[in-house]
Structure 1
């Protein structure tokens, strides 16, 4: 009787441990999903601000300079598509924002040819706000993708994958950017040139270094003859 009771207690303990583990994994999935959704909402807010700033940039450009209409049309169309992609998910939004990035790069390249536009304070302020917004979007993207990576990894590990199927959780999409300018590592070439003096080339073998004085060419000086007895 005692052995049977021990077996029953062990089985009950194992069941309780299994249930607690399943509940813990389920709750972790739910917390990660909520964190991902919240981090995406932060990105979405910054993207909305970005779209508003682009609209203001277009209006200021129209009012202050005879800008190339084709370039403006490309920006307006790309912005419209990005706004329309709102709510379609990170993957679709990322593709629309990528097209908008290309249109904006062309826009700012053309804007460099208009001195009166570059001197416009409204245009300059909008550019600065655009840079700040881009930085916040980039930081939000890194945070979001990090959470998605941790969340999606659990779908490929046991036993959390079983809990994901039981709880009807689904993998999340990454918010990716295919712009090589964003993905490329910053180049530091020439960044520290101002901290060091100009480089002095190494002279060939047998020649004096640059900046050293060389004895004058010519015959050696005459020496006094020895005295006679």
Structure 2
């Protein structure tokens, strides 16, 4: 009788732990899917922004090309689920978009264009949402990775081959303080 009780307790523990780990694994997948949706939305908006800018910025082809190339690298990294490449591509895209928006200041007609303003606002909103989702994704990954390494949960994790996930890394440039004076003087 006592043996059966111990076996039942162990079985219940394994079932509860397994279900909990499955839930955590799916939260990581859901967090990534949320980022993926936003990356796709931004990917679809950028050509519209570039086309709008091309109408006014005839002499800024190099900047527009940087945005196009960075957009392509983000798309490739996203499709291959290469988080390291995605982090680097995201940095390049953010940098080239920053240059594009800074150059737009030199084109009063572009700055006054309603479509440009709408796209700039939309892309900025998507960028903020991506940052929020990245934080949620990294929290989900951290919970997953800690749980599958903690004893006794690691016994269930190893038995059922649960894997650690990679964090979405931030570039060192994103972690630095912003130089406000430089922004006002450019």
TM-score of Structure 1 vs Structure 2, range by shorter chain: 0.7 to 0.9
Structure number with higher relative contact order (C-alpha < 8 Å, ≥ 6 residues apart): 2
Matches within 5 A, 1:32-111: 32-89=24-81, 90-111=83-104
TM-score by length of 1: 0.72
Cα distance in 2 between the residues matched to 1:179 and 1:88: 23
Which residue matches 2:184?
A: none
Cα distance in 1 between the residues matched to 2:172 and 2:127: 13
Matches within 5 A, 1:139-150: 139-150=132-143
Q: Deviations over 1:94-116 (max 9, x none)?
A: 22222211221222222222222
Partner SS state of residue 64, structure 1: coil
Cα distance in 1 between the residues matched to 2:78 and 2:27: 20
Partner SS state of residue 176, structure 1: coil
Shift of 1:129: 0.4
Matches within 5 A, 1:80-229: 80-89=72-81, 90-178=83-171, 180-181=173-174, 183-184=175-176
Aligned CA-pair RMSD: 2.0
Alignment length, in residue pairs? 179
Which residue matches 1:226?
A: none
Matches within 5 A, 1:20-31: 20-31=12-23
Larger Rg: 1
CA contact (8 A) 1:91 1:174 kept: no
TM-score by length of 2: 0.87
Partner SS state of residue 85, structure 1: helix
Q: 1:162 to 1:122 in 2, by over 3 A?
A: same
Cα distance in 2 between the residues matched to 1:80 and 1:61: 18
Gaps of 5+ in 1: 1-8, 189-229
More helix by proportion, 1 or 2? 2
